[in-house]
Structure formats: structure tokens, C-alpha cells
Structure 1
Amino acid sequence: MLLQKVWYFKFQQLLAMLSITLLGGCSAIPTMVPDMAMHPAKAVQLDGAHGPLSPKQTKQILAKLEKNGADTNIFDKHLALEAEIVGSPLVVGNQVQLLVDGPSTYNAMFAAIESAKDHINMETFIIENDEIGQHFIDILVSKQRSGVQVNLIYDSVGSMNTPKEFFVPLIESGGNVLEFNPINPLNSRKSWEVSLRDHRKLLIVDGGTAFAGGINISSVYSSGSRGSGSFRKSKSGEGKVPWRDTHLRMSGPVVSEFQKLFIATWNQQKGEPLTVKKYFPETGSQGNEVVRAIGSSPDEPYSQIYSTLLSAINSAETQVFLTNAYFVPDPQLLASLKDAVERGVDVRLLLPAKTDSALVFYASRSYYDELLSAKVKIYERQDALLHAKTALIDGVWSTVGSTNLDWRSFVHNQEINAVILGQSFGTQMQVLFEKDLQSSKEITLETWRKRSISTRIKERAARLWARWL
């Protein structure tokens, strides 16, 4: 039943993309200067709980990051440029917890929601009318009735199979529910462009705790990808392929940056005025992590996450480890990966062997020959449906978020990522990447070129749709 729903969603989405292409042409990813990360920019600025740090404080923190990191100049070559591209600050004093798969992520979310005292802001691409979705609604309704303001944004296409009645209890209890870019043009609050979607997964509790990553609200995540751990109330999921995903729990001053992104989306979608709450409380320092919140929107001239990732790859000196569910790269990303290998960088892609979208799956594989010929290493996760979207560069630059490496994420979607600097968190990311490799199969050029003619035909056909998947 779930696969039928997924295929129906993909089919409807594809029809929408085709109609828009025929009516109004296609969007393109703007060309970024290939060597832009190699040029110096203005001095890096760090922010703390009370605003910008002094140049001396910033210098001390960056020196510590470089001292504890690998032998790389990524801090010198990359960070100042990244600030100019993105605009959001690098924020110190945060605590970041890496969450692997649905069970640990949901239980951490439920604990945060249940402890809420002031407000809960939630933004998600998919919220299903299933066991997991119903549990979220139940606890959100309970918190709303206790006086905690709940504001929920869900995507109209991502949650197209979720009936409107599902949200009624939350609305009747006083919660605010906003449908992002409604499919029905009669309900549109802005210009109607059905291809523009909110793919973010964001939860903010009391302005002091934020969750972001790749996990939607769905029972497909009920079991862990390694067979251990389960959602505490789950009765479903047995016999199904487990989903492998990555999420973050963050606390500290950077939460206010994620809060700004949520409120900006609410206002852009012309939601009802938000109830006055303490959306930006004084959080103080909660840890030692340096974090940047990055949000991309199709309303902007280019994807900030895309340009930031290109900048980081172009700056890499030792390693580029990318984990992604939907890999349909544009020419610039392909060139950056191949150029990195030529510089002696260890470039590895961890991609799915199982998928919920055959078109994306075969389109992705259509790039394998070119990448393998350039000495990019490719691995496919075998025993789970890989849905994570993460990157680790030079062991010190990490990102976790909702952004896929495809045209849809770069051009049409609202996305959200966290960039975390430093070797401590980078080590956790590397351990996780290596664990995933243990359950993966390396694809070699020799064996790849032995694939069947029918498979090659599927790849070529899917490649034709690369820009609209």
C-alpha cells in the first residue's frame, strides 16, 4: 500500500512538472564561478549568544578548530566565502546530537515536544495519516490544550494523501496549520506554481531546541535500519524494507537562525499572524559546536545550499564523502567531484541500492560510468532504503539536512541544512559513514560495464527526465 502511494505521488508530481515545462519553460541552475572558493574574501565572523564576537574571539575559535582538525586549509579558503554566499552567521556555543534513523529521532522529538512550555513550530514535507503521524498530532493537540502554541506547516504535494480531516483536531484545539503552496489553485495565497515545494523537515521547541535532517513524519521509519531500536508505540513495519536516514537535535544560539527561517516561510505563505510567544529567547551557550543554518528557497536567485556545497567541494584537500538518497547531479557538481579527484582528494558517494523512485534510481545510475571513469568511488547501501542527505569534507566540514543532490532540490524546493564545523562532530560523521559502508557494496567500473542492455536502456530513458525528477 505504501509503495502504491509513493508511486502515485511520483506520477502526479511528474505530470505537474511536465505541464509546467510545456507552459513556462524550465528553470536552470545558475553557473557558479568554478574557482570561487580559491579566492580570499572578507574576514570570517562568528556569532555567539549575544551577537557578533570580537575579531580576537573569532580568531581564537578558528585557530582552535584548525589545530584540532586535519591538515587542511579549508577554514582559510572556504569559510569567508561561504558567509558571503549564504548570509547567515556561523554561530558558536551550540550542542549538536547526531540522530540515526526514525526510532531515535522520533523519541527525541517526542521528548522535546512533551517538555515544551511556550511554543512548538513544525515544518515538514510529508506527514502521513498513519500510526506515527497520528501520534504526532495527538501530542501536539495535547500541548496546544495545555497552553503551548503549536504552528504547523506541511507541504501540499508531499502530504497529498493525508486528508484535511487529519488536521482538524489540532485546528479545533487552537493550533495554526498552514498548507504550503496548495495544489488547488483556488486555495493559492501566492502565484500558483505547483512545482515549488517545501521539502524542509524542521521542528523548533521553545526557541531553544531545533531538529533538522532528512526524516519525514511517516511509519516507514518505524524500525531502525540495522534491526535495533523501534518506535515505542509501533506495531507496523514488520517485513518491510527499513529506511536509513540521518537527523540532528540542536540546542543553543543557532536555533534562532532556524526560527527565522520558519517564520519567513510562514509569512511568505501568508499564514495567519502568529500568536505572540517567546520565539527568540535568550539561550546562552549550550556547547562547543560551531553551526550555520542554511535555508534555500526557489524565490531566491540560486540555491544557497547548493552553492555552499560546491564551495566546500572545491576547497577540499583530503576527502569528500557524500551520502544521498537522490543523486541526479548537474554539470557543475559533476565537474567539482571529478576535479577534486584530480587534486588527489578521496571522493566517495554512498547511494541507495533500493529506492522509492525507479526514475530517479535509473537517472542516478546513468552517471556512474562517467564518475567511475574519473576515479570517483561509488557505494550502494544494500539492506535498507537509504534516504539520508549528508556530507563530510576534510573531516571538519559536515552538513546534515533535507537537500538531495538533484535538480529538484537545487531549483524547485525549499530546503534546510545545518553545517557543523570541527573535527569532533566530523569524527562522528566519519564513523557513521564507515558503518554504512560495511552494509554497502562498492561498484567498480569493470563490473558496472557488464550490466544488461535493458538496464542501460532504462538509464538512458530516465536521464531524459533528470531536470524534472
Structure 2
Amino acid sequence: MKNAPTRGLARSRWVPGNRVSLLENGEEFFPRVFEAVEHAQHEVIIETFILYEDKVGTQLHACLCAAARRGVRVDLLIDGFGSPDLSGAFIEEMASAGVRLRVFDPGHSILGQRLNLLRRMHRKIVVVDDACAFVGGINFSADQLLDFGDTAKQDYAVELNGPIVQLIHRFAAHAVAAGKKAQAVRNHRPGPPEHQRASSGHARAGEAEVCLVTRDNWRHTNDIERHYRVAIRSARQRVVIANAYFFPGYRLVQDMRNAARRGVDVRLILQGEPDIPIVRVAARMLYHHLLLAGVSIFEYCERPMHAKVALTDDCWSTVGSSNLDPLSLALNLEANVVVHDPAFNRALFERLEHMNRSCKRIEAADLDKWSSWRLVRSFVVFHLLRWYPSWIAWLPRHAPRVTPLGR
């Protein structure tokens, strides 16, 4: 793996000897998480953007309460924007059982509108007993299950075993810790994962080399984007990106165009039935620019696609919480794992190929004809993409609060 893309990024810590299992949708993800929590002996840490008080949230609630009552240390961190409506009874029962529930930057609503939109805790991480971890894009809500109906989300996560779990555990424990560590979170300066070395004595579980890559608003503002860019620039055969909210910066778009021009099969799988209509409008502003360079674009039309995954060639893959849009790339707190492993790359490629069968391929003829307005709009979008990573950093950067809930 010496020549694997992103292998030499200076601020990354690569941990060998791991097993990585791909989990698709809530049907595969929730049973594995709930089973791990039910067998926890010492500690459970969960970070999630969304926790709803529906059948999934209720099941998680029961698992966490049961674990806490049998003496397991349970920490749950939710986001104040993504999880605003938990009832007092739901919170109080967890607190009474011993679950330590905290909310990231709770904020307040005015006339029913939540105003704390910027700089959210968008990570989805589960760690159980420093023995297994889950990272991905799946929230704890019933809309991640296929029986939710036409608006059920298509998404992915991974289960990890091996030495990387210790590193993920240290990162997650820091985010939910009390006292001085909580103050570090409030100051928006989380301990960088690359400074947390996995123990060489931690048992090997497989052949995958894994890196935890995070984005924050202090020291690691573009780490996830850098991994994407290096992987795309290094690709020689294929690049497949399935991403829910697609409006990346100029440099990332140019890397995709350049890869396609040198003969790489570059495929984008984007939303055809978005849960937020403006998402498709924004992405389609880039279609002409990408198609002209030879990038293939597919829209997933079965239901909303919430995926945040990618692969290049036959070794590099990433799964996580980060979209390729301004919120994820320049504002939110995110977490991805990057995996160097041919077997996992192949498994992810097969899943994406299956999903691609439900996609519509976008051709230039499907798009609106060129006009003076389209020319002006393309010019504006071009320069917006080119400069937004610089000016978006000037948006309000308040020190977020991690607030305990319940007793």
C-alpha cells in the first residue's frame, strides 16, 4: 500500500490491522449498534446529529438506559439543531438511568424557527468498550429504514474492529468529556485525532489500514477535503462519489474535471429525489461544467439519497458524515474514515453499482439550453466556488456550548 493515495498526508495517522464492515441503511446499521450496546460491559459513547423520539430513537433510548442501569458508563452527545424536540420525559428517564446526555450548542428558536444553523456537530460516531466503533452518515431516526416509505433515506456506515477503535474512542471521549476537556470543546479546539496514537498492543482484527479524518473550525478546517483531492488526483482507473449534498469548492471540481480529462472513469451519484429541493438546483448548476470534461453524472431516483461515500481505483475508500457542500466542507464538525483495503473497496463498489441501476444518467441534452442568463449564472457560480472557502471562514464563529440535559 505504499503508493495508495492519501497515504503520505502529513497530518494523518494510519492504523493497520483492522476489519471494516460496510453497513447499508438502518436495516443493517441499527441491529449491529443495538447488539453492541446490549453487550457493552464498560462504556458506550454516541455522537449523532439527529435523534428523534420515534421507533428507532425509542429503541436506542431503551438500550442506553438498560446499559446504564447495569453499570455501563453511557455518554450521548446530540446536536442542538438536528435534535431539538426530545420530550422532557424522554430526557429525564435517561438521566434517571444514569445516561449522561449532552447537547451541542442548543440555541433557541424564534417564532418556531431555529436560528442556530451554522457550525453544527454533524458527526455520527458510536464506540463500545474500546472494542468496536461505528462511523458513517446514518442518524438515529426511522427515516433511515426502508419501511418509512418513499422518503426513506439511502445511506451507509461502517463497523470497525481493531487498533483504530482506540483512536476513535479517544476522539469521541474527548468530545463528550466533562471538566477541562469540555472546556476545550466549548472553545472549539478538539484534540486532533492524529495526535492520538493507537496502542501497538491492540489486537489486530483484519488487513485494512484506516485513518480517522475529522473537520473542525480550529485546526482541521479542510482535512476531509484534502483526502478527497489527493485521492482524485492520484486516481488512474476510476473515481466513484455518491454524495447527498453536492456543491464543492472550485479546486475539488477542477480535480474531478482533470481526472476525467486524463481518462479516469469519474462517476458522480447524486440526488434525483432530494429531501431538500434546493440541493438539486445547486448541484445542477455544475452539471454542464462537469459533463463537458467527461465526468459521468447519475441521479438516484428511488428515494432521497443521504450517502457520503467515495472510492478510487481498487484500494482507497471513504465513508462518513461529510457532504461535499459548504456546510460540511467549511462549517460543520464532521468525521470520516478513510480505508486502504482492496476487499472493502470492492464491497463498496458493488453496493454503489447496485444503487446505480436505479439511477438516471444525465446527458447534456437533458439540461437547459445555453442562454445569456445561463452564461452569467455559470460565471457567478464559478467564482463563488473558487472563493467560498476563504470568505466563509469569516462567518460567525462563536464558541459552541456543550450543555448537560436532565439531572
* Correspondence for 2:327: 408
Q: For 1:114, which of 18, 21, 38 is the aligned residue?
A: 38
Asked if the contact 1:360/1:462 (under 8 Å) is kept, the reply is no
Asked if the contact 1:363/1:462 (under 8 Å) is kept, the reply is no
Q: For 1:284, which of 196, 200, 203 is the aligned residue?
A: 203
Within 5 Å, which residues of 2 pair with 1:14-413?
Answer: 62=1, 74-75=3-4, 78-80=6-8, 82=9, 84=10, 86-87=11-12, 89-184=13-108, 195-223=118-146, 237=148, 239-267=149-177, 269-270=182-183, 283-300=202-219, 302-413=221-332
User: How many residues matched?
Assistant: 366
Residues 196 and 241 (structure 1 numbering): CA distance in 2 closer, same or farther, change over 3 Å? Answer: closer
How many Å separate the matches in 2 of 1:173 and 1:451? Answer: 62
Asked if the contact 1:181/1:194 (under 8 Å) is kept, the reply is no
Residues 163 and 306 (structure 1 numbering): CA distance in 2 closer, same or farther, change over 3 Å? Answer: farther
The answer for unaligned runs of 5 or more in structure 2 is 110-114, 186-197, 393-407
Asked if the contact 2:127/2:133 (under 8 Å) is kept, the reply is yes
Residues 458 and 149 (structure 1 numbering): CA distance in 2 closer, same or farther, change over 3 Å? Answer: farther
* Correspondence for 2:361: 442
Asked if the contact 1:121/1:150 (under 8 Å) is kept, the reply is yes
Residues 194 and 399 (structure 1 numbering): CA distance in 2 closer, same or farther, change over 3 Å? Answer: same
Is 416-425 or 156-165 further displaced after alignment? 156-165
Shift of 1:462: 10
Asked if the contact 1:244/1:385 (under 8 Å) is kept, the reply is yes
* Correspondence for 2:399: none
Is 370-379 or 455-464 further displaced after alignment? 455-464
Write the deviation string for residues 263-314 of structure 1: whole angstroms up to 9, x where unpaired: 2322454499xxxxxxx99641111211111121122252211111111111
How many Å separate the matches in 2 of 1:138 and 1:311? Answer: 43
Residues 457 and 150 (structure 1 numbering): CA distance in 2 closer, same or farther, change over 3 Å? Answer: farther
Shift of 1:460: 11
How many Å separate the matches in 1 of 2:328 and 2:122? Answer: 8
Asked if the contact 2:6/2:227 (under 8 Å) is kept, the reply is no
Asked if the contact 1:183/1:194 (under 8 Å) is kept, the reply is no
1:436 is paired with a residue whose SS is helix
Residues 155 and 460 (structure 1 numbering): CA distance in 2 closer, same or farther, change over 3 Å? Answer: farther
Write the deviation string for residues 148-198 of structure 1: whole angstroms up to 9, x where unpaired: 11000000011123345422211111111111122149xxxxxx9862111
How many Å separate the matches in 2 of 1:111 and 1:310? Answer: 36
Residues 177 and 451 (structure 1 numbering): CA distance in 2 closer, same or farther, change over 3 Å? Answer: farther
Residues 216 and 343 (structure 1 numbering): CA distance in 2 closer, same or farther, change over 3 Å? Answer: same
The answer for unaligned runs of 5 or more in structure 1 is 1-61, 64-73, 186-191, 224-229, 231-236, 273-279
Write the deviation string for residues 410-444 of structure 1: whole angstroms up to 9, x where unpaired: 11111111111121111111111111111111001
Q: What one-letter code is carried by the residue in structure 2 that aligns with 1:263?
A: A
Q: What one-letter code is carried by the residue in structure 1 that aligns with 2:104?
A: F
Write the deviation string for residues 184-239 of structure 1: whole angstroms up to 9, x where unpaired: 49xxxxxx98621110000000011000111001010122xxxxxx6xxxxxx2x4
How many Å separate the matches in 2 of 1:341 and 1:144? Answer: 52
Residues 453 and 125 (structure 1 numbering): CA distance in 2 closer, same or farther, change over 3 Å? Answer: farther
How many Å separate the matches in 1 of 2:31 and 2:88? Answer: 26
* Correspondence for 1:46: none
Write the deviation string for residues 354-406 of structure 1: whole angstroms up to 9, x where unpaired: 11112222111111111111111000111121101001011210000000001
Asked if the contact 1:124/1:216 (under 8 Å) is kept, the reply is yes
- TM-score, normalising length: structure 1: 0.72
1:427 is paired with a residue whose SS is helix
How many Å separate the matches in 2 of 1:270 and 1:128? Answer: 27
Q: What one-letter code is carried by the residue in structure 2 that aligns with 1:220?
A: D
How many Å separate the matches in 2 of 1:424 and 1:355? Answer: 31
How many Å separate the matches in 2 of 1:451 and 1:269? Answer: 53
How many Å separate the matches in 2 of 1:217 and 1:193? Answer: 21
- TM-score, normalising length: structure 2: 0.83
